[in-house]
Amino acid sequence: MQLRHPSADIFIPDGKDPAAALGRITHLGVGAHQDDLEFMAFHGIQACYHSEADWFGGVTCTNGAGSSRTGSYAKYSDEEMMGVRRQEQRQAAIVGRYAAMVQLDYPSKIVKDPCDERLKDDLIDLLAAAQPRVVYTHNPADKHETHVAVVVAVLQAIREMPRQERPQAVYGCEVWRDLDWLPDAEKVVHDVCGHENLAAALNGLFDSQIAGGKRYDLAVVGRRRANATFFESHGVDQSDALSFAMDLTPLAADDSLDIVGYVTGFIDRFKADVTAKLRQRLER
């Protein structure tokens, strides 16, 4: 496979032929930055970890040059930080037993440029090679601009695939904005309890960010626990870790659906729910 950025990297933890490694992927995560996959797509990593038939594969789109850095990493150049971040992501692929870990190595400005189609075209090639059943990516209501650019590229790539090769499910996951606001009936609820040791190991591998001033390892686990506790107000917890996702499968299956209208529809229904509850108690 000829990826479009000259420093793009395909890493196969078990050394299998790249074509065969990509072809065995059943659950594919596509994230903007190193560590996004481990935070948002743990449901897929966990599902494949002990499976004989299912394999998780990862795609990271950007190069890590803009990562925060303090302490031991404070004096690292962008190039040095890129090398650290790439190696951290490779280590996560080893620990998580990924089928393959692809790092496309684009600067964020290219990912965010709507006129630059290289990311989308790479994703088309990777999706065609893997033909995964399930895709995890960012949710379109995320507040991080690069995350939104990635999910748009994912949806555009899927829509250019033959319908019979498209994934059966596409999930937009939580990172830089949680999805607790989604009406419960519209949440995709992923139970990610168990394997706390695996989750902790994966989260903790990204030392450059943890030591660099961002305790993502604690925040992600805390969010999952909070989701589990606050999901049901009138019953005991059925899980101790939940992650929420927005169902993007209709956008992947039906090219006629407007992406903006589909996403803002969730927001409109949330607004309607809040409005109705307030009016019920204020209007007499």
What CATH number is associated with residue 207?
Answer: 3.40.50.10320
Average pLDDT of the segment spanning 52-66: 95
Instruction: Flag whether 1 is in a domain.
Output: no
CA 14 to chain CA centroid, Å, is 23
Cα–Cα distance measured from residue 186 to residue 233, given in angstroms and rounded to the nearest whole number: 17
Instruction: Flag whether 2 is in a domain.
Output: no
Cα–Cα distance measured from residue 78 to residue 97, given in angstroms and rounded to the nearest whole number: 28
Residue 213 has pLDDT above 80, yes or no: no
Query: Residue 211: which domain range?
Result: 9-282
Q: How far is CA 96 from CA 25, 199, 205, in A?
A: 14, 9, 11
Residue 178: how many CB atoms within 10 A of its CB?
15
Average pLDDT of the segment spanning 60-76: 88
Instruction: Flag whether 138 is in a domain.
Output: yes
What tokens appear for 163 in the block?
Answer: 């319908």
In 167-279 the beta strands, taken as DSSP E runs, fall at 169-173, 187-191, 242-247
Question: How many domains does the chain divide into?
Answer: 1
Tens of pLDDT along 115-163? Answer: 999 999 999 999 999 999 999 999 999 999 999 999 999 999 999 999 9
Q: What percent of the chain has pLDDT over 70?
A: 98
pLDDT of 234 reads: 65
pTM: 0.95
Q: What percent of the chain has pLDDT over 90?
A: 88
pLDDT of 78 reads: 93
Instruction: Flag whether 3 is in a domain.
Output: no
- The model's confidence at residue 238, banded by pLDDT at 50, 70 and 90, is confident
